[in-house]
């Protein structure tokens, strides 16, 4: 089921001063949510291909993630192999115990199907769709345990991502452990074929999206099953998970069953937005404003003049950059010093790699949340002329915005899947 949202109007307030109605956060505040008992590191990761939001109707959404080894971008400085190279990551990954083995899986709040690659795996070229050597899909270790009996059943899955990426295989029940929580008989996908280009480290995807967006099927049609988040809640754990991501691996982790016990500013709260049928397929929220400084004290006000941004935004840590409406993206990128310029071929803005980004703040639930300045330039995505991509692009391929991994950095983002809201706070730890 595809999510289609209508662009009703856009407004951006960009001024030297902050909007008085949106108080900035203050330190040492706690969310009205339980504290998690344990946490698991979320490793900053450089990958040649990071999956973005999938399209459940079987047609991939246009590529919205950055391929850091794209030949069109020119040479990339340094090695792209180490997941610990915290200055150049485009995604995050977590260690997940699947049956008796540990696998590094890409963390994704924009999809709902957790899967791990198996052996043998049939790899296909993403352009010609011809079979190619499995090494060209660049997976990490394959699942090495005994294949679950259910993997031979008639329940299959098929996922399509941007950039002509797709994964197919069978579903199976395994014991899965992460962040101190063990999920017995959790249904996950066992990838048997597809078109992919990974990083030689990660072995699949750890998906934290709503169950309504899962993609399993049988000969009779769609077969909904409990995703990881629903299984956690039904197991008696608090219905909350949180991401505290950072380019500093020592400060980057996720928690399940509560929020991390760290110092933050005041939490902003925003309800999750269902689709027209009232289903929560993905984690969409509404932003009040996006604010930045432009040209000293010059005030720029573009959009509909409605006083709020009525377009909805998807919270998706599996997407590299943020995708804003075009006029907002243009204004934010013009505020870099030096200004960044739109590259239509690559669908990204580029500027000097040492450019100074504008102070950027998001109005959420009547409060003002500051973006992490270091997240605004992507030194790992460099053109042959030496220019680096910024972390704000245009949502030309969708009618909604996306708050990607760059948004999550430096914040605690907590999802309450029972109250169907999200709490967001600046980190001060």
Catalytically active residues are: 108, 316
- End-to-end CA distance of the chain, in Å? 40
Residue 391 near residue 235 (C-beta atoms within 8 A): no
Query: Minimal CA–CA distance to 15: which of 297, 259, 328?
Result: 297
Rounded distance, CA 337 to CA 185, Å? 53
Q: Which two tokens stand for residue 353?
A: 């790699």
Q: What CA dihedral angle connects 402, 404, 406 and 407, to 10 degrees?
A: 60
DSSP-derived letter for residue 72 is G
Q: Are 11 and 404 in contact (CB under 8 A)?
A: no
The whole-angstrom distance between residue 329's C-alpha and the CA centroid of its chain comes to: 19
**316, 52 Cβ separation under 8 angstroms:** yes
CA 112 to chain centre: 12
Query: By C-alpha distance, which of 281, 140, 136, 149 is closest to 205?
Result: 140
DSSP-assigned letter for residue 259:
B
Residue carrying structure tokens 């200004």? 339
Beta bridge partners of 118: 143
Q: Smallest Cα–Cα separation from 232: which of 22, 6, 34, 16?
A: 34
Per the DSSP assignment, residues forming a β-bridge with 382 are 388
Q: Are strands 181-195 and 115-124 parallel, antiparallel or unpaired?
A: parallel
Segments of 99-210 assigned E as strands: 101-108, 115-124, 131-132, 156-161, 165-178, 181-195, 204-207
């Amino acid at each position: 089921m595809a999510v289609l949202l209508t662009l009703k109007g856009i407004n951006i307030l960009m001024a030297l001063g902050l909007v008085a109605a949106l108080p900035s956060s203050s330190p040492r505040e706690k969310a009205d949510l339980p504290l998690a008992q344990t946490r698991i590191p979320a490793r900053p990761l450089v990958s040649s291909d990071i999956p973005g939001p999938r399209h459940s109707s079987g047609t991939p959404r246009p590529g919205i993630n950055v391929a850091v080894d794209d030949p069109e971008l020119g040479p990339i400085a340094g090695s792209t192999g180490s997941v610990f190279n915290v200055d150049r990551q485009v995604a995050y990954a977590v260690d997940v115990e699947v049956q008796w083995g540990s696998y590094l899986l890409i963390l994704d709040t924009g999809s709902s199907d957790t899967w791990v690659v198996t052996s043998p795996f049939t790899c296909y070229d993403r352009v010609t769709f011809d079979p190619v050597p499995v090494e060209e899909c660049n997976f990490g270790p394959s699942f090495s345990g005994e294949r679950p009996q259910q993997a031979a059943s008639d329940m299959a899955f098929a996922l399509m991502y941007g950039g002509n990426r797709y994964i197919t295989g069978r579903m199976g029940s395994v014991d899965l452990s992460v962040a101190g929580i063990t999920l017995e008989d959790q249904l996950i996908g066992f990838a048997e074929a597809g078109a992919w280009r990974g990083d030689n480290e990660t072995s699949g995807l750890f998906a934290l999206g709503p169950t309504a967006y899962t993609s399993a099927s049988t000969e009779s049609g769609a077969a909904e099953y409990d995703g990881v988040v629903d299984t956690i809640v039904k197991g008696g754990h608090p219905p909350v998970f949180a991401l505290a991501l950072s380019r500093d691996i020592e400060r980057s982790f996720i928690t399940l069953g509560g929020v991390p016990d760290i110092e933050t500013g005041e939490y902003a709260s925003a309800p999750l937005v269902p689709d027209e049928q009232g289903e929560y397929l993905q984690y969409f929220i509404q932003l009040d404003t996006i604010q930045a400084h432009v040209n000293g004290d010059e005030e720029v006000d573009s959009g509909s003049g409605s006083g709020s941004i009525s377009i909805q935004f998807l919270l998706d840590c599996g997407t590299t950059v943020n995708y804003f409406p075009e006029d907002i993206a243009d204004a934010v990128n013009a505020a870099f010093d030096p200004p960044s310029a739109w590259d239509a071929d690559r669908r990204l803005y580029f500027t000097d790699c040492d450019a100074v980004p504008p102070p950027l703040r998001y109005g959420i639930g009547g409060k003002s949340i500051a973006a992490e300045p270091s997240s605004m330039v992507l030194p790992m995505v460099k053109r042959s002329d030496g220019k680096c991509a910024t972390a704000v692009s245009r949502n030309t391929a969708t009618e909604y915005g996306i708050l990607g991994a760059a948004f999550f950095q430096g914040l605690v983002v907590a999802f309450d899947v029972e109250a169907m809201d999200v709490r967001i706070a600046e980190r001060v730890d």
